[in-house]
Amino acid sequence: MNRYLGTIAFIFAAIIVLINVSVGADKSTFVVSGKQVVDGWVASTEDKVSLTDKIIRCDGNAWETYYKGLVRFDLGAIKASKYGTVKRAILQLTITEANNPKLIPTVISALSTPWNNKVTFSSPDGKNKWPLREGYPSVDYSAMPNCTYKQVITAPGTIDVDVTSLVDRWLYQDLPNNGFLISTGGPVFGKPDLSTWKLAIASSESGSNGPKLIIEMNGTPPVAGSAQKNALRYYPSAFMAPVRSPYIFYWDFGTAPSYPGSVTNAIGGGQPEAQQAGRLTLGWFYGPQDPYIKDEQGFIDYYVNAAKSGTFGVMVDEWQKAEAGQPPLEPANPFGITGSIKGILAAKKVNPAFYIAVAWRGEDNIEGATRYGEPDLLMIEAYSHVEKIFPREWGTNGNMGSPEHRIDIARKLGMIDKTIPWLGMILSKENYHPGEPLTASELERQIVELRRYAPEMPGIAFYANGDPELADAADRLAYKHFVEPAPSLVILEPGYQQAINTPHQIVSVKALPKNNRTILKYRWFVDNRLEAETTAPEYIWDVRGESAGLHILTVHAVDSGYNRSAAQIPVFVRSN
């Protein structure tokens, strides 16, 4: 059960001649401008129209006439199949007159309806009507809501608008290029009072001040199957954490909560039934203190063989030494640290999707791996209440050291977003030290404090399960303090199970954060691969690098409090 769940900015344009300016072996810039621009205006009264005026008139006159601008570009000279991406597309416009005392926004939208030189306010081609709503046609009803830019224009001057997403749709996604509508004040019928303003934009007839569309193409097209080589990171499965769920909720030792709605999604010990339930299962793995390995190469082989074994991943138990100045918990293997660091890096090279978590007590000697962004997860041992067979000093209530200090080290290593605290132990009351049981209220206090201190941490871990009631309470607390505050998230496009047969596909989402938070970033996955992180709610997916067949798209939204949501849909890629 998955509970987690841009407007494209552009401005007006013109059908234009293309001038190719090469700026590199695999990168070209096209400046689209010139005499073959098609632009003009239509008036709301008497079907007045001009496609030859030196300005694109967008005025509004109360009780009289309102003007709408139309502009279209010819992109036929760009051979998009030669390139990898539209790196950037900028629409440059010259505002020649602007008087807008009521600060009414001007909306510039891509049009869904084709039009020609017989266009009027009521018809796109002199024969048919613009789209209708409630029986009334309007050119405004042809505006595409997901391809819209809005701006309050108050003064003359040049404006630049990023239209990269729209140009990509035109060149790679089979969106018909019907140009733009420039509309201030919304749909008009008759002679209403929608206020009065002045807005004029230099047209293609005005010469060098006319609209320019500057398109920078980049790279070469990928071949089918090559996408797997270029991801930012790989994970065991699209159907497991941390892809399907943006958090890691890990249980180690004992039986994890399994009530309906449990958020537990990662299990230690490689339990087959947990794996079948879609939980990430991590096998126990001897750490750098392994006394049986006699040299550095032995450690490297140990990790590499695990990565080749076909399992999803391992939990390394545990790193070599305690914090600076403290002795190791076990006799040190002189090859353990360097061998394990090289082993982790070698294992990820052999199998990038192999998930490696490390039980960690704040040792900075793991830096040889963290400088490369490895391992996948550091789990801070932060048990406050330990089983009575262990010394009290082994817990954070003893001399184990505060979890905050270890969190500080993780942050210094650049690993805070790959670090989670490991709380517990979750035991029946008789197994704690006398008079020192861990309670649900104390566990909640710890979670609240750790979320406050380091909200970037992507989850939480619990150790042992000797008390099913306390275990279920711990699981519900994870939901309350991680999942419940997260934004709602839905994938807007492509559609669920959509068949994709264009070179590119825009993946767009809608995220609604809670409690006045904002969205900090989005993370974009194809199958088990992290492809990109952006601040915008859309991502252009180059489908040419994918194999034909079923693929899983997943998006994470992370808000300003580091609450995370995920949304996931299947799509089908047709043969390129």
Q: What's the 3-state SS for 395-414? A: CCCCCCCCHHHHHHHHHHCC
pLDDT class of 260 with cuts at 50, 70, 90: confident
Task: Give me the percent of the chain exceeding a pLDDT of 70.
Answer: 91
Q: Are 45 and 62 in contact (CB under 8 A)?
A: no
pLDDT at 324 over 50: no
Q: Are 210 and 202 in contact (CB under 8 A)?
A: yes
pLDDT class of 399 with cuts at 50, 70, 90: low
Provide mean pLDDT across the span 171-198: 88
pLDDT at 551 over 90: yes
pLDDT reported for residue 401: 65
pLDDT at 40 over 90: yes
pLDDT reported for residue 331: 53
pLDDT reported for residue 145: 85
pLDDT at 15 over 80: no
Pick the CATH number of 247-483 from 3.20.20.80, 3.10.180.10, 3.40.190.10, 3.30.70.1170: 3.20.20.80
Task: Give me the percent of the chain exceeding a pLDDT of 90.
Answer: 66
pLDDT at 314 over 90: yes
pLDDT reported for residue 330: 54
Provide mean pLDDT across the span 85-114: 92
The 8-class DSSP code of residue 480 comes to: I
pLDDT at 4 over 60: no
Beta bridge partners of 491: 509
pLDDT at 18 over 50: no
Provide mean pLDDT across the span 304-316: 95
pLDDT reported for residue 22: 32
**Lowest-confidence range among 68-82, 90-104, 271-285?**
271-285
pLDDT reported for residue 270: 60
Using alpha carbons, select from 442, 324, 435 the residue that is nearest to residue 384. Answer: 442
400 φ, ψ (degrees, to nearest 5): -70, -20
**Lowest-confidence range among 217-221, 452-456, 490-494?**
217-221
pLDDT reported for residue 440: 96
Provide mean pLDDT across the span 383-412: 83
User: Could you count the other beta carbons within 10 Å of the beta carbon of residue 206?
Assistant: 17
Provide mean pLDDT across the span 419-432: 93
**Model pTM?**
0.83
Distances (CA, A) of 149 to 9, 143, 410: 4, 11, 42
**Lowest-confidence range among 32-46, 162-176, 453-467, 471-485?**
32-46
**Cα 47 to chain center, whole Å?**
46
pLDDT at 160 over 60: yes
pLDDT reported for residue 25: 40
pLDDT reported for residue 3: 36
pLDDT reported for residue 53: 94
Could you please report the per-residue DSSP string of 1-65?
----------------EEEEEE-STTEEEEEEESTT-EEEEEESSTT-EESS-SEEE--B-TTS-
pLDDT at 508 over 80: yes
pLDDT at 576 over 70: no
Q: Are 393 and 400 in contact (CB under 8 A)?
A: yes
pLDDT at 510 over 70: yes
Taking the domains of the chain in order of start, what are their residue ranges?
Answer: 17-218, 247-483, 488-573
**Lowest-confidence range among 58-67, 89-98, 392-401, 412-421?**
392-401
Provide mean pLDDT across the span 136-149: 87
Provide mean pLDDT across the span 120-141: 89
Domain covering 488-573 assigned CATH 2.60.260.20 in the classification: no
Provide mean pLDDT across the span 299-326: 83
pLDDT reported for residue 13: 32
**Lowest-confidence range among 144-148, 489-493, 530-534?**
144-148
pLDDT reported for residue 333: 78
**Which residues neighbour 390 within 8 Å (Cβ) at sequence distance 6 or greater?**
none
Using alpha carbons, select from 138, 134, 136, 110 the residue that is nearest to residue 124. Answer: 138
Provide mean pLDDT across the span 11-38: 54
Provide mean pLDDT across the span 515-543: 97
Provide mean pLDDT across the span 556-574: 97
pLDDT at 191 over 90: no
Provide mean pLDDT across the span 518-526: 98
